[in-house]
Chains A and B, each alone.
Chain A
Amino acid sequence: MLEIPLLIIVPLLGVFLIVAVARKRSPVAGIISILAICLIIYLYKNVLCAIANSGSIVYEIGGWSMPEGINLIVDGLAVFMLGIVYFISFLCLLYSIAYMKNSFDKWKYYTLFLLLMSGISGVVLAGDIFTLFVFLEISAIASYALVSISLEGGALYGAFGYMRMGMISSVLILLGIAISYNYLSTLSIADVSLQLGIRNQAGNMLLNNNIVIIFISLLFLTGFALKVGLVPFHFWVVDAHAFAPAPVVMMLSALIMPVLGIYPMLRIFFNMVGITPRLLSLMMIMGILSMIIGALFSLREKNIKRFLSYNCISELGFVVLGIGIGTKLAIAGAFLHMISHAISSSLLYASAGAMDYARKHSDEKNIDITFKTMPLTKGASVIGALSVIGIPPFNGFWSKMIIITAAWIAGYKGNCLIIVIVLILNAVSFLKIQTAGMVRGDKKKSDFAALEVPFLMRLCMIILVCFSLFSGILWLSSAREAFLDPAVKLISQKHSYSQHILWK
């Protein structure tokens, strides 16, 4: 019980400790943030033990009871998302301690990082839409600042485009919240669902045809699709990814875009306003479009970070497609793909960042740095690429296979064809960019100095490679029952959520 608010408070305390103590002594900032993350992971383990018995916990802040007060709710889906968040952000922190070693004003970076952690925990735990919105804004503002932290022209330009789209999305979400409050006089997610159910039974309106509900759903869908960067709204993604430092991009693609976009989408559509077949097919179309367009545009790119950002759009398209198919198996596949996307994209960005790091820190400026001198980085990059393409032992294969199977069973046979074509396109584009990285330097190996990156970055990549190899285990029965099934169950049974939360 005690741990739930502490998941949000501990990073905030870390923020203020860094501002108060570590402005001059910047190594302390890294130590404080590592300690904060370790403490959070310990608390998360306790929450996991508590949730295993009871299914869901409602934490009432200040003792104000459920529909009126501010509540934090932990259930299967929240635990699942928090697991991904803490795992990836811990690795990002390890990576960034080595990566940001020589940069100016490190304490600002760590402050923003911890603020982002606190915001993301809040988004996942929030029990009403307005709290969700506030934490969404906190983490979004922290991530805008993180993208522009290097203060170069390109980074600032990318951050401005990101902010413009982020502001549009937050305005749309706020409008949705305002209209739904005006209509139903409640903000709590469970209570909105309950009220809608009552009105639906009383026959005052039909859920599928009520114009206000449709309007609210479209506002939320547009707002959160802007945050994810799905295809009609994907313009900010590439500019924001291209110039930001590597750990920030890891966070952006692996955590910020899924957690700030897809998680609230799930919460609001499946647990709050109720999903309709029309919305599902809209989500499916968005997913397919972003898969195809991401893969096609990535063929054209030469810069590796821009290439990977298009690839990231296409991967998130897979997740949204899996949700849009809407059967239990497909949603499980989408969740599994969320994990595998987090692992493989952070692996790819870690290796790209390692190349950047080596290029920046080499003594001779004109040396042509390739993968030749960095076997581990090369291996990490290749494994990430194989995982994205979907070669069997790696994680990408399992999740994509489950999504394809689910699409086939649900009767969307054209979608299976599109997925396979997208995978082939991915393979071609990765082959192109990997050969560009490997073949170009035709000098001998002895011409280069030993340029492997620092230990912490290598450690981070090794851990990610291990998880990439073995995360297919998650589909085995015991792991799936502990981790995936509660989340899937929560999503697939629509109206029991509110009763579960409100009358415990």
Chain B
Amino acid sequence: MSVEKRQYYFDQSKGMGIIVKTVTRLTVGIVFLFGINVALKGHLVPGGGVAGGGAIALALLSLILAFGKETALKNINRKRITMIATLGMMMFLFLGLIGLIGGNLFSTHFMDNEGKFGILKANIIPLFNIAICLLVGSGVYTIFITLIMLQVRKGSDK
């Protein structure tokens, strides 16, 4: 750990105390991976894109809570996260539209349902789960940073 990083780490004015920062540093990765796990196994066990996306968004939010909004927003800014949300939704729509190509109906299961690979056993449902996971994770995060970035002052615009 470099000197500046260490100084920041002990700085009480930005974010919360050192205990919270350390615990957050250790757990964020695990929560993130858990979210991805829940999203990818959504077609086999209870869970799915929404739950996984929620877990991912909560991991990102705990970063904001522990380290203060300046640090967190410097790394994951609003424009980038909106682009990810758009990407997720576009992916969802295009997966639906692929079904139309063969003259089928919207969001038809277009792959052969042979089940050779573990993740493709449920046809396009895992892909939908991934899209939803991207969308929900970044969407919830966007909502919260929008609320955080509004400067609340009493009667400031009066």
Are these two chains actual partners, yes or no? yes
- Write the residues of chain A forming the contact surface with B, with a CB cutoff of 8 angstroms: 2, 5, 9, 12-13, 16, 19-20, 23, 59-63
Asked whether B107 is an interface residue with its Cβ less than 8 Å from the other chain, the reply is yes
CA–CA, A63 and B93, complex, Å: 16
User: Which secondary structure dominates chain B's binding surface?
Assistant: helix
Q: Do B100 and A19 touch (CB < 8 A)?
A: no
In the bound complex, residues from chain B placing their C-beta under 8 Å from that of A62 are: 99, 105-109
In the bound complex, residues from chain B placing their C-beta under 8 Å from that of A63 are: 104-105, 108-109
Closest residue of B by beta carbon distance from A19:
B86
CA–CA, A31 and B38, complex, Å: 41
Give me 23 A-to-B residue pairs in the complex whose CB atoms sit less than 8 angstroms apart, sorted by A's number: A2-B100, A5-B96, A5-B100, A5-B106, A9-B96, A9-B106, A12-B89, A13-B90, A13-B93, A16-B86, A16-B89, A16-B93, A19-B86, A59-B105, A59-B106, A60-B105, A61-B105, A61-B107, A62-B99, A62-B106, A62-B107, A62-B109, A63-B109
Contact A9:B105 (CB < 8 A) given known A2-B100, A19-B82, A20-B83: no
In the bound complex, residues from chain A placing their C-beta under 8 Å from that of B105 are: 59-63
Asked whether B97 is an interface residue with its Cβ less than 8 Å from the other chain, the reply is yes
Q: Do A9 and B93 touch (CB < 8 A)?
A: yes
CA–CA, A60 and B109, complex, Å: 13
CA–CA, A374 and B104, complex, Å: 54
Closest residue of B by beta carbon distance from A152:
B157
Q: Do A61 and B106 touch (CB < 8 A)?
A: yes
Report the minimum CB–CB distance from B113 to chain A (whole Å): 13
Closest residue of A by beta carbon distance from B99:
A62
CA–CA, A197 and B79, complex, Å: 53
Within B91-118, the residues touching A (CB, 8 Å) are: 93, 96-97, 99-100, 104-109
Report the minimum CB–CB distance from A391 to chain B (whole Å): 46
In the bound complex, residues from chain A placing their C-beta under 8 Å from that of B96 are: 5, 9
User: Which secondary structure dominates chain A's binding surface?
Assistant: helix
| Other A-B pairs beyond A20-B86, A20-B90, 17, CB < 8 Å | A2-B100, A5-B96, A5-B100, A5-B106, A9-B97, A12-B89, A12-B93, A13-B90, A13-B93, A16-B86, A19-B86, A20-B83, A59-B106, A61-B105, A62-B107, A62-B108, A63-B104
In the bound complex, residues from chain B placing their C-beta under 8 Å from that of A19 are: 82, 86
Pairs A-B, 10 closest by C-beta atoms? A5-B106, A62-B107, A16-B86, A19-B86, A61-B106, A63-B105, A20-B86, A16-B90, A63-B108, A16-B89
CA–CA, A12 and B93, complex, Å: 9
In the bound complex, residues from chain A placing their C-beta under 8 Å from that of B82 are: 19
Report the minimum CB–CB distance from B146 to chain A (whole Å): 12
CA–CA, A59 and B106, complex, Å: 9
In the bound complex, residues from chain A placing their C-beta under 8 Å from that of B109 are: 62-63
CA–CA, A61 and B105, complex, Å: 6
CA–CA, A424 and B99, complex, Å: 57
In the bound complex, residues from chain B placing their C-beta under 8 Å from that of A16 are: 86, 89-90, 93
Q: What does the 1/0 interface line of B2-18 toward A look like (CB < 8 Å)? A: 00000000000000000
CA–CA, A9 and B79, complex, Å: 24
Q: What does the 1/0 interface line of B28-70 toward A look like (CB < 8 Å)? A: 0000000000000000000000000000000000000000000
In the bound complex, residues from chain A placing their C-beta under 8 Å from that of B89 are: 12, 16
CA–CA, A12 and B107, complex, Å: 16
In the bound complex, residues from chain A placing their C-beta under 8 Å from that of B107 are: 61-62
In the bound complex, residues from chain A placing their C-beta under 8 Å from that of B93 are: 9, 12-13, 16
In the bound complex, residues from chain B placing their C-beta under 8 Å from that of A60 are: 105
Closest residue of A by beta carbon distance from B104:
A63
